[in-house]
A and B are shown apart, each in its own frame.
Chain A
Amino acid sequence: GQNIDQPTEMTATEGAIVQINCTYQTSGFNGLFWYQQHAGEAPTFLSYNVLDGLEEKGRFSSFLSRSKGYSYLLLKELQMKDSASYLCAVRDRSNDYKLSFGAGTTVTVRA
């Protein structure tokens, strides 16, 4: 299986930048996903990385290094509505429909 680690909690100020790290171990890496989940709501898709490098999408960017088993999600110009849980999930080539999730990082944005 995959061992996926991410910090439990992070706190940042409105307007600031926060970087959420995710490390993983898998024998046949086939993609990494970031999801955002507000309390009581559905996880919503943020980004997908399968090749090394940075994917930018508005205020959110995601980076992947396959050789290091490492990804980060960068949230810029933080807004209060960005307070949520951020989930890192990895897919293995042996099972390309199944996601393995980290425990999630709760981000709190303060005024």
Chain B
Amino acid sequence: EAGVTQFPSHSVIEKGQTVTLRCDPISGHDNLYWYRRVMGKEIKFLLHFVKESKQDESGMPNNRFLAERTGGTYSTLKVQPAELEDSGVYFCASSRDRGIYGYTFGSGTRLTVV
């Protein structure tokens, strides 16, 4: 099966601009997760979708971040307006069940805000 696909792989934007990251989960995986790793720190949970519904968005840093999953397939994560501290690697992961045995991760989008 195809893996979790993320686009773009890299993005460099100026402070104040908008960026939209996309994640295509493995087909048939109802659960989709966003995680983020900022420089030198651990990977941290952002939010969890079950199909098109947000189950938990407790990890979202602030209201500049908006995640959507229309139709329960791919998901987007928009950052508007971007700030310097938003730089990092954004990972998407998916699972068929509630991730009992872990997830399949994408390769991530490296976001650099300058």
- A residues sitting closer than 8 Å to B (CB atoms) are 4, 31, 33, 35, 40-45, 48, 87, 89, 91, 95-104
- B108:A87 contact, CB within 8 angstroms: no
Residue B64 is within 8 A (CB to CB) of chain A in the complex: no
- B99:A42 contact, CB within 8 angstroms: no
Q: Mark B66-95, 1 if CB is under 8 A from A, else 0.
A: 000000000000000000000000010001
For B45, give its contact among A35, A45, A96, A99 (CB under 8 Å): A99
**Distance (Å) between the CB of B58 and the closest chain A CB?**
9
Most buried by A among B4, B40, B108: B108
Instruction: List 20 extra interface pairs beyond A42-B105, A98-B48, A99-B45, CB under 8 A.
Output: A4-B42, A31-B100, A35-B102, A35-B105, A40-B107, A42-B4, A42-B104, A42-B106, A42-B107, A43-B105, A44-B105, A87-B43, A91-B99, A96-B98, A97-B55, A97-B98, A97-B99, A99-B99, A101-B44, A103-B40
Total B residues in contact with A, Cβ cutoff 8 Å: 27
User: DSSP majority for the A interface?
Assistant: strand
Task: Using CB atoms, name the residue of chain B closest to A47.
Answer: B102
Say yes or no: A42-B91 contact (C-beta < 8 A), given A48-B101, A96-B99, A97-B98. Answer: yes
A102 / chain B contacts, CB cutoff of 8 Å: 42
C-alpha spacing A92/B55, complex, angstroms: 16
- A48:B102 contact, CB within 8 angstroms: yes
- A33:B107 contact, CB within 8 angstroms: no
- B45:A100 contact, CB within 8 angstroms: yes
**Distance (Å) between the CB of B31 and the closest chain A CB?**
7
B33 / chain A contacts, CB cutoff of 8 Å: 97-98
C-alpha spacing A101/B44, complex, angstroms: 7
B48 / chain A contacts, CB cutoff of 8 Å: 97-98
**Distance (Å) between the CB of B53 and the closest chain A CB?**
13
Most buried by B among A31, A48, A98: A98
C-alpha spacing A35/B42, complex, angstroms: 13
C-alpha spacing A40/B89, complex, angstroms: 10
A91 / chain B contacts, CB cutoff of 8 Å: 99
C-alpha spacing A83/B22, complex, angstroms: 29
